[in-house]
Structure 1
């Protein structure tokens, strides 16, 4: 059986390369709106962050996505990101690394 290639992406906060399935995609569309992309298929420029609450909190402190996308973001976006990362991290602990 042929071994499948695992797509890798870089975590924007830590700079570490990780499998795409272990990351959260954040996307900026043409109207400069930044949002979470649970499907990974929204159109726009994407950036990835690890499914880790501590890394999400670090992104909020360092305003990582504001720098990456060159837009102003309020704290509600980062709070939503932290909440979503916490949700996915809990799912991984319960069900393993597969989404």
Structure 2
């Protein structure tokens, strides 16, 4: 029997492909709200980010979350994501 494959996603900060479970998902819901989705199951477009401050800083400086979500990301979302990463390090 073939082993079950693990879904892979690419970090918008560093560009490294990693297992979906190892990344943080930032989701843009169909009604336009952006949220941090730890479950990976929220509906809508998603962008994935490693759980490291260096990847967060790269994504923030180059506005890669906005590009990936095709929507503007408010400063509050970036601050919440930064707090979340600092708590988990």
- TM-score for both structures, normalised by structure 1: 0.76
Show the counterpart of 1:97: none
**Aligned-pair CA distance for 1:5:** 2.8
Q: Secondary structure at the match of 1:54?
A: helix
Gaps of 5+ in 1: 91-99
Query: Which 4+ runs in 1 deviate beyond 6 A?
Result: none
How many residue pairs get matched?
89
Shift in CA distance, 82/4, structure 1 to aligned 2, threshold 3 Å: same
Show the counterpart of 2:47: 47
Deviations 1:3-62 (A, max 9, x none): 443321111222211111210011111122211101111111111111111111221222
Gaps of 5+ in 2: none
Show the counterpart of 1:21: 21
Aligned residues: CA RMSD: 1.9
Structure with more contact order per residue of length (Cα contacts < 8 Å, sep ≥ 6) = 2
Structure showing the higher helix proportion among its residues: 1
Q: Secondary structure at the match of 2:47?
A: strand
- TM-score for both structures, normalised by structure 2: 0.83
Show the counterpart of 2:85: 85
